[in-house]
Amino acid sequence: MSWPAETIARANDIIARYPERRSAVMPLLYMAMREEGRLTDEGMRLVAGLTGLTPAQVQSVASFYVMYKTESQGKYLVSVCSSISCFLLGADEVLHAVEEAAGLPAGEADDEIGIEHAECIGACGGAPACLVNYELVEGVTAAKAKEMIEWLRNAKPEVINADELQTLFGGRRSFDWAIKEDNGAIGPYPAFPPFGTAAHNTPALEPGRLATRNSRPATPEVGAS
Amino acid sequence: MNQTRVLFKRMTDHPADSHTIDRYLETGGYEQARVALGRTRDELVELVKTSGLIGRGGAGFSAGMKWSFLAPARPAYLVVNGDESEPGTFKDRQLLERDPHQMVEGMIIAAVANEVHEAFVYIRGEYPKPARRVQQAVADAYERGFLGRDVMGTGYHLDITVHLGAGAYICGEETALLNSLEGRRGEPRLKPPFFPAAKGLYMLPTIVNNVETISNLPHIVERGIEWYRGLGHDVDTGTFLFSVSGHVKKPGNYELPHGITWRQLIYDVAGGIRDDNELKAWVPGGASAPWFVPSEHLDLEITKSVTDSSGSMLGSGAVIVMDETTDMVAAAERLVRFFAEESCGQCTPCREGTTWLDMILRRMLDGGGRAVDLDLLYDVSDNISVGVGWPPKQTTICPLGPSAVSAVKSLLEYFRPEAEAHIVRANRVPVTIKGFGQ
Ligand SMILES: Cc1cc2nc3c(=O)[nH]c(=O)nc-3n(C[C@H](O)[C@H](O)[C@H](O)COP(=O)(O)O)c2cc1C
Ligand code: SF4
Ligand code: FES
């Protein structure tokens, strides 16, 4: 397997933004997930080739971070926060409802849905909160969470949009979101250009538009001053 | 109790478009970057030092002092810490989402002050929306000539790259963050020798500051030291963002002056306790901070020095409120579990200790508590942080391990009878019958 030429070009754009190739390993791992829906050995080998690392080094990095998934999470990864502020307001009931509605215990996935518990996702003022493909929904209840799982199974949305999730299934928010966004996530990895978004309204963020390393003067090697 | 809106002003006045470059420019945006570009490093470092600006990432260190320690080797880097993952904290998310240009302008100021030409914003992976907003802000700033080869026509060059984390609380710790940005496992480095200001990103001098810290800079440059100090209370200058969550009627982020009391914060600002229940305890500064209780702490002033000397800390400003219905053993377990899950595993006391603390608390909750368990909790805590005191002694590479002890220490100190009751109750029935512990 290899990546399409366009993906390789994007990867090289990302690499060019950093003083050292190795730094691009994290964004490239996300690109690998976008290509195959999960992180495969082959994907990690490609990242290794592009960043000048060994496959073992890439795997060692990938295994450190919980958002790099080597197992398939289906199309929708539902992460239910179970840290303190959400716990105080019923997160355990929400997780239970999600597990029951999906017919899956936390930590497992079928072809459509993956369920996991998450540690604090920075939405404590809108507790209990969860993420679907890392897009946020705040102020959920057990009943709403169950509806959300049924909606994912039946409506099978192509793009997960936080505003839509919040309108349909959310409640109290940490703060006023104020501005609607029509972009969203297209898989179980963060919607961040150039990897992972529906990207239909972000031409300004296409690689190359962000003048980065090409606008930089040469940086001396590490250790030089 | 009125909020003092400085960092939150634009988003409050212009909720629909505070994140756009047009609104930012219309409200005076990037003028302070221009001012800073006309000043020297010494002038800017002195300005920030005398403003009294304290880092808002949790460690509470003077920003100006940190800048003055930057080693002379070049290139130097600036890294903004947007990893915000401490349970209870959600202020940086609001700043990133609602006013990203405020931070970008702050970054230009910090870059000029520290002779930096290459800067990074590290945003946690679970924050794709804030990251998209910042990425858009950076792209717009490039387009208008505020970033790039020739910043505002001055010949200064500055590049900003937005970097996404991938789900690891420990990457909020600055040296772990730098490892992560270098494409490594997010494991903290030993300090000394790896103080970022001396040996940071790629072993070069690096300034790491929190999103809120950086967002203060345009205001300090614009309105000066007198004004900034006047907002605060004695040595705690400026405003402070509190993230209030838990059993209050009005959770949320509040921008307030230092020096109000906990009573005012919990009852006036955050609307009091849900259902008018009794307040039982609160966490004053994020999951790492020891708890406060109403009988001792409700009328204390909220300042760094008072909080520090009362056995806790303001940290990242996360206030987690618990009412009378809260099972304190369950609360402690939930806090400890976080650290057990997020330990990077380099240090034995942290990796093993947090896991043991969690297992003991869990068996107490599951009805399998043993008479020795409270002593055991203390012993394990003592192994992680000798003496179980405050501030915690550190046996480990970073403060994460010792932070896990805070909840256990608070449980034993303020709620020992409640913890004992869990054990007594547990032992009245066979331990194998789960959930039958009444
Ligand atoms: C375990 C741990 C987690 C941390 N998490 C964060 C964080 O999420 N955000 C942050 O700004 N600082 C965090 N810090 C503090 C940073 O190490 C560092 O002190 C801070 O980013 C410096 O910025 P400041 O001086 O502007 O506060 C953390 C520290 C530790 C020990
Ligand atoms: S104290 Fe814990 S988190 Fe910090 S370096 Fe050691 S093992 Fe890692
Ligand atoms: S505790 Fe759930 S979002 Fe912070």
Distance (Å, whole) CA B127 – CA B35: 32
CA B280 to each of CA B293, B309, B312: distance values in angstroms, whole numbers, following the listed order: 6, 21, 17
Delimit the domains of chain A by residue range.
5-64, 76-200
Whether residues A174 and B253 touch (CB distance < 8 A) is answered with yes
Chain A interface includes B230 (CB < 8 A): no
pLDDT in tens, B360-381: 999 999 999 999 999 999 999 9
CATH architecture for residues A76-200: 3-Layer(aba) Sandwich (3.40)
Alpha helices in B86-244 (DSSP H): 91-98, 100-113, 128-143, 174-181, 211-231
Percent of chain B clearing pLDDT 90 (strictly above): 91
Of all ligands present, the nearest one to the C-alpha of A118 is 3
What spacing in Å lies between the alpha carbon of B173 and ligand 2's midpoint? 10
Whether residues A193 and B318 touch (CB distance < 8 A) is answered with no
Answer whether A141's CB lies under 8 Å from A172's CB. Answer: no
A5-64: which CATH topology? Answer: Arc Repressor Mutant, subunit A (1.10.10)
Q: How many CA atoms lie within 13 A of B395 on its CB side?
A: 20
What spacing in Å lies between the alpha carbon of B301 and ligand 1's midpoint? 24
What spacing in Å lies between the alpha carbon of A155 and ligand 3's midpoint? 28
Crossing angle of the two packed helices B91-98 and B211-231, in degrees rounded to 10: 100
Topology alike, domains A5-64 and A76-200: no
Distance (Å, whole) CA B322 – CA B274: 10
- Pick from B174, B350, B383 the residue to mutate for probing ligand 2's pocket: most ligand atoms within 8 Å of its CB: B350
pLDDT in tens, A27-66: 999 999 999 999 999 999 999 999 999 999 999 999 999 9
> Across residues A131-136, what is the average pLDDT?
98
pTM above 0.90, yes or no: yes
Average pLDDT value for chain B: 95
Tell the residue nearest (CA) to atom 30 of ligand 1: B173
pLDDT in tens, B46-91: 999 999 999 999 988 999 999 999 999 999 999 999 999 999 999 9
Supply the ipTM of this predicted assembly: 0.95
> Across residues B379-390, what is the average pLDDT?
95
CATH of B328-427, one of 3.30.420.40, 2.70.150.10, 1.20.1440.230, 3.40.50.300: 1.20.1440.230
Whether residues B331 and A120 touch (CB distance < 8 A) is answered with no
pLDDT tier, A222 (very low <50, low <70, confident <90, very high otherwise) = very low
Every domain range in chain B assigned CATH 3.40.50.11540 = 9-229
The CATH code that applies to domain B239-323 is: 3.10.20.600
Which residues of chain B have a CB within 8 Å of the CB of A91? none
CATH architecture for residues B9-229: 3-Layer(aba) Sandwich (3.40)
The reply to whether ligand 3 has any atom less than 6 angstroms from the CB of A174 is: no
Inform me whether the pLDDT recorded for B127 exceeds 60: yes
What spacing in Å lies between the alpha carbon of B336 and ligand 2's midpoint? 14
Answer whether A195's CB lies under 8 Å from A186's CB. Answer: no
Distance (Å, whole) CA B120 – CA B128: 16
Report the chain B residue with the minimal C-alpha distance to residue A62: B185
Inform me whether the pLDDT recorded for A9 exceeds 70: yes
Task: Provide the number of CB pairs (under 8 Å) joining chain A to chain B.
Answer: 230
Report the chain B residue with the minimal C-alpha distance to residue A163: B129
pLDDT at residue B381, rounded to an integer: 97
Inform me whether the pLDDT recorded for A224 exceeds 70: no
Every domain range in chain B assigned CATH 3.10.20.600 = 239-323
Report the chain A residue with the minimal C-alpha distance to residue B337: A83
pLDDT at residue B196, rounded to an integer: 98
